[in-house]
Amino acid sequence: MRNVKIVTDSCADLPKELREKYDIDYMMMNTVYEGKETPASLDWEFYSPKELYDICRNGGRVTTTMVPPDRFQEYFKAELEKGNDIVYIACSGKLSGSVNVGKVEAETILKDYPEATICCVDSINASFGEGIIAMKAAEMRDQGMSAKEIEEALLPIRNNVNQFITVHNLNALKAAGRVTGSSAFFGNLLGVKPIIISDSVGNNTPIKKAKGRLNSFKELVSLVAEGVEGQENPDICIVHADCMDEAEDLAKMVEEAIPGAKTYITYIGPIVGASIGADAIGLYAYGKSIERFDAQ
């Protein structure tokens, strides 16, 4: 059986230590500010989180690009030359076109490598939710599954990623086209903080609102506790857009509400961060299907 490489993209928000632990690669997208394109590194080599989020705080507009076709070509060809198959875990196709670009490039390249397999999987998630799917794929690879087997196994579990995020308002997400216009009114209510999920088809959707920042945190904790109910020592990731003190407070709230929970704190990366704006904060966990919110 051929070896399988797991690769994701800049939207996955997996820090280096987890990428190394799970042997996951990623392809960089780009951020664009004042006409300058910069690779969107999850290790923040080109600018710091504070620099990016201060631009957002001061009203600056940072835009983003998909994974460029030449990066797909370079990565795919290099791995196929090594005799590896590839599973690409992509950002939700509702938020980025990268999964479709990857499929086009894979189809073209595979004409020269008929024995190889490249699977491009729409994670229907972003940020650490996409990262969770990539880590699940890596675990399957380590169990000896083929690229096609991994793809088939991932598709039915994508909705088990629970994302609960709150922002000060939905202005950045609306401007970036990351929430539907019909949902954006939640962010315009004075003092009200929306609670956003990644729904069952991959859209960012506000499902609840809370009065004030602390109450929004309590709502996040309540929702994630429901999502992991019945699990022993669940893994819960706290993501944040340059508000570490609040992330640490939120981690304590999670640990108090869910005995045995193992918490992990990381930054929301450049691509998702440019879209969601400064001071966003949220929780990710693998648990009950997010489809339970579809009827709301």
Residue 210 belongs to domain with CATH number: 3.30.1180.10
- C-alpha dist (Å) from residue 230 to 224, 227, 234: 12, 9, 9
**Looking at 158, 181, 199, which one is the last position of a domain?**
158
The pLDDT of 198-209, averaged and rounded, is: 92
The angle subtended at Cα 274 by Cα 44 and Cα 90, nearest 5°, is: 80
**Looking at 158, 173, 197, which one is the last position of a domain?**
158
- Based on the domain organization, do 13 and 151 belong to the same domain? yes
Q: Work out how many domains the chain is built from and give that number.
A: 2
Q: What is the residue range of 244's domain?
A: 159-293
Residue pair 236/220 in contact (Cβ under 8 Å)? The answer is: no
- Based on the domain organization, do 149 and 232 belong to the same domain? no
- Based on the domain organization, do 182 and 106 belong to the same domain? no
Question: Which of the residue ranges 66-70, 167-171, 176-180, 265-269 would you say has the lowest mean pLDDT?
Answer: 176-180
The pLDDT of 258-273, averaged and rounded, is: 97
CA distance 192 to 169: 8
Strand 161-166, strand 235-240: pairing: unpaired
Q: What is the largest CA-CA distance in the chain?
A: 58
Q: DSSP readout, 81-118?
A: HTT-EEEEEE--TTT-SHHHHHHHHHHHHHTT-TT--E
pLDDT of residue 180: 52
- Based on the domain organization, do 27 and 122 belong to the same domain? yes
Query: Buried (b) or exposed (e) across 91-107, using 16+ Cβ within 10 A?
Result: bbbbbbebbebbbebbe
The pLDDT of 216-233, averaged and rounded, is: 97
pLDDT of residue 193: 87
pLDDT per position as a tens digit, 137-195: 999 999 999 999 999 999 999 999 999 999 876 666 666 555 554 444 444 555 678 89
Tell me what percent of the residues of the chain surpass a pLDDT of 90. Answer: 85
Residue 148 belongs to domain with CATH number: 3.40.50.10170
